[in-house]
Amino acid sequence: MSITPLMPVYPRTAFRPVRGEHCHLIGEDGRRYLDFAAGIAVNALGHSHAGLIGAIQHQAATLMHVSNLYGSPLGEVLAQRLVDLTFADTVFFTNSGAEAVECAIKTARAYHQHVGNNHKFELITFNQAFHGRTLATISASSQEKMHKGFEPLLPGFKYVEFNDLDAVKAAIGPNTAGFLIEPIQGEGGIRAASDDFMKGLRALADEHDLILALDEVQCGYGRSGTFFAYEQYGITPDVVASAKGIGGGFPLGACLATEKAARGMAAGSHGSTYGGNPLAMAAGVAVLDAFAAEDVLANVRDKSAKIVGRLEQFIGNYPELFEEVRGRGLLLGVKLKVEPRGFVAHLRDNHGVLTVSGGDNTLRIVPPLVIDDSHIDEFMDKLSAGAASFPLEPAGQ
């Protein structure tokens, strides 16, 4: 047998992390790495956060799981806190980002079908988008590399160019149910929607009675410098999918909606066995407690300004390697002039710093939201050593 016991869908590195300490990871061989990947924008509080660990340990010993057939005191607490912090009136908890997006898609369809508009099932989505790996969420993405081998796709998605409002207008038809968009594309290369574009989508949604659903799985939960990225656009969405940072590393996602948008999500219409279980809810509450106690949003804005300032200065030293700095908050990217995977591997293996590659030749910089100035210094030192030693034109090519 040549297949590995772990299904080989990920090309895994030789680096095998076994322990986390705040903003660092330690490998099996004892080597330390500065973690500016954070489990792909997940470990908002870094690793080994005492409050999060304590909440999970306590809840695990008290009650880990019950079904959603029963009342949920902790679920009510977390849902109420999210309602108080956002546009939303109601929340469905999931175990992952793709499930949160899946719920957003179902909510948008059900909104129309609730009043008999069964033909309004199509969501307009955007080129280079990433929404997850379930069949519905790969169908929502235009990226063919995620479709290959898994066709037929789910019908009901129309792809248009990101930040092109005229293309959106042209794509709206009798079957349109709404829009599904990442305000800041993560996987696609840290590309932010323009102000005019997001405001334009809101206006079109109002004009045509469509659902504006945001995928804030990566850009939400403080990552962009506000609790959710939509706040920076001065718009109110109808539905938002959240995950990644929401559990600080514990598997948790959420679909947030207004009362109006959720009008089709009646009793018995949707569900999840694990979704919203007491252990996940305790983790979610602990993350929000830490956000408040440690003023995480202010830290994101402060550290973002510092790191962006330094990156802007720095990239000019290597014009043949770096093109531009992108992103908001601590959802940052440096567009490279080369395919980023080699540079990510070089930084990791030769300089002990973890980053993530993204689409559009982007090096993603998504550290824990609790980094301090010393981590920025360490990052810039390692990045600069990495750039200096990176073989742009390897011998023999």
Ligand X SMILES: *Cc1c(COP(=O)(O)O)cnc(C)c1O
Q: Which stretch binds ligand X (CB under 6 A): 62-70, 139-147, 215-223, 258-266?
A: 215-223
Q: Looking up tokens 């995928």, which residue turns up?
A: 215
**Least distance from C-beta 274 to ligand X, angstroms?**
13
217 in contact with ligand X (CB under 6 A): yes
Q: Three-class SS of residue 205?
A: helix
Q: Would you tell me how many other CB atoms lie within 10 Å of the CB of residue 231?
A: 16
> Encoding tokens for residue 233?
């656009």
The Cα–Cα gap between 325 and 342 comes to: 19
Region of 162 please: left (phi>0), alpha (psi -120 to 50) or beta. beta
Q: Tell me: is residue 29 an annotated ligand-binding position.
A: no
Minimal CA–CA distance to 186: which of 105, 244, 140?
A: 244
CA separation, residue 174 to residues 117, 171, 208, 253 (Å): 10, 10, 10, 32
243 binds ligand X (CB under 6 A): yes
Task: List the one residue out of 184, 103, 91 whose CA is nearest residue 140.
Answer: 103
Q: Does 132 bind ligand X (CB under 6 A)?
A: yes
130 binds ligand X (CB under 6 A): yes
Instruction: Indicate whether 97 belongs to the interface with ligand X (CB under 6 A).
Output: yes
Q: From the CB of 162, what's the least distance to ligand X, in Å?
A: 13
Total residues contacting ligand X (rule CB under 6 A)?
15
Binding segment for ligand X (CB under 6 A), chosen from 74-82, 210-218, 271-279, 312-320, is: 210-218
> Is residue 125 marked as binding?
no
Identify the residue among 131, 191, 223, 364 touching ligand X (CB under 6 A). Answer: 131
- Check residue 193 for interaction with ligand X (CB under 6 A): no
CB 41 within 8 A of CB 186: yes
Please give the full DSSP string across 88-146, using - where no structure is assigned.
-SEEEEESSHHHHHHHHHHHHHHHHHTTT-TT--EEEEETT----SSHHHHHT---HHH
**Residue 109: which of 92, 117, 121 has the closest Cα?**
121
Q: Is 98 annotated as a binding residue?
A: yes
Q: Which stretch binds ligand X (CB under 6 A): 6-14, 61-69, 96-104, 160-168?
A: 96-104
Distance from C-alpha of 223 to C-alpha of 41, rounded to nearest angstrom = 8
The residue from 78, 101, 229, 383 that contacts ligand X (CB under 6 A) is: 101
Instruction: Return the range that interacts with ligand X (CB under 6 A); candidates 79-87, 92-100, 113-121, 150-158.
Output: 92-100
User: What would the x/- binding string for ligand X be over residues 163 to 192, using CB under 6 A?
Assistant: -------------------x---xx-----
Shortest distance, position 132 Cβ to ligand X, whole Å: 4
* DSSP percent split of the chain into helix, strand, coil, nearest 5: 40, 20, 40
Q: Is 216 annotated as a binding residue?
A: yes
Q: Which of 43, 59, 86, 96 binds ligand X (CB under 6 A)?
A: 96
Binding mask 328-367 for ligand X (x = CB under 6 A): ----------------------------------------
Task: Name the residue whose CB lies closest to ligand X.
Answer: 97
- Cβ proximity to ligand X, 137 vs 376, nearer residue: 137
User: What are the CB-based long-range contacts (under 8 Å, 24+) for 228-236?
Assistant: 228/86, 229/183, 229/184, 229/328, 230/87, 230/183, 230/198, 232/183, 232/328, 233/183, 233/193, 233/195, 233/198, 233/199, 234/195, 234/199, 235/198, 235/199, 235/201, 235/202, 236/87, 236/202
Q: Which is nearer to ligand X, 362 or 387 (CB)?
A: 362
Decide whether 86 or 242 has the Cβ nearer to ligand X. Answer: 242
- Show binding-site residues for N(2)-acetyl-L-ornithine: 133, 272
Annotated binding-site residue numbers for pyridoxal 5'-phosphate: 97-98, 130, 215-218, 273
Q: Which residues are annotated as a binding site?
A: 97-98, 130, 133, 215-218, 272-273
Q: Which residues bind ligand X (CB under 6 A)?
A: 96-98, 101, 130-132, 182, 186-187, 215, 217-218, 243-244
